[in-house]
């Protein structure tokens, strides 16, 4: 499979949907939904987590603040990354 370049996780918060799952759980618990609703919630959360894991496994992290490029401006770093992509 083709990998895609993404910003390094050191430079942005993680994308894993744990917070979303907790918030939805508390919301659904507050509304006291029936058992079939919990089944739908669990199924969707499992699919979301599996999709996130697959997406994260196909990513290649790029560090925007690379120590080797201290003399370059931010725009020059972005241009350098774009040029690497076309090679």
Enumerate the domain spans of the chain.
Answer: 4-86
pLDDT in tens, the chain (87 residues): 778 777 776 777 557 888 899 999 999 999 999 999 999 999 999 999 998 888 888 877 777 776 665 667 778 878 887 887 676
Q: What is the pLDDT of residue 46?
A: 96
Q: What is the pLDDT of residue 62?
A: 73
Q: What is the pLDDT of residue 1?
A: 72
Give CA–CA dist 22/15, Å, rounded: 14
Q: What is the pLDDT of residue 58?
A: 83
Yes or no: say if 77 and 66 are a contact pair by the CB < 8 Å rule.
yes
């Amino acid at each position: 499979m083709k990998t895609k370049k993404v910003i390094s996780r050191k430079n942005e918060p993680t994308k894993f949907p744990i917070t979303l799952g907790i918030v939805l759980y508390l919301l659904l618990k507050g509304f006291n939904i029936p058992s079939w609703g919990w089944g739908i919630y669990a199924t969707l959360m499992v699919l979301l987590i599996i999709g996130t894991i697959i997406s994260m496994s196909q990513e290649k992290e790029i560090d925007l603040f690379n120590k080797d490029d201290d003399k370059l401006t931010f725009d020059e770093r972005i241009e350098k990354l774009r040029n690497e992509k076309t090679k």
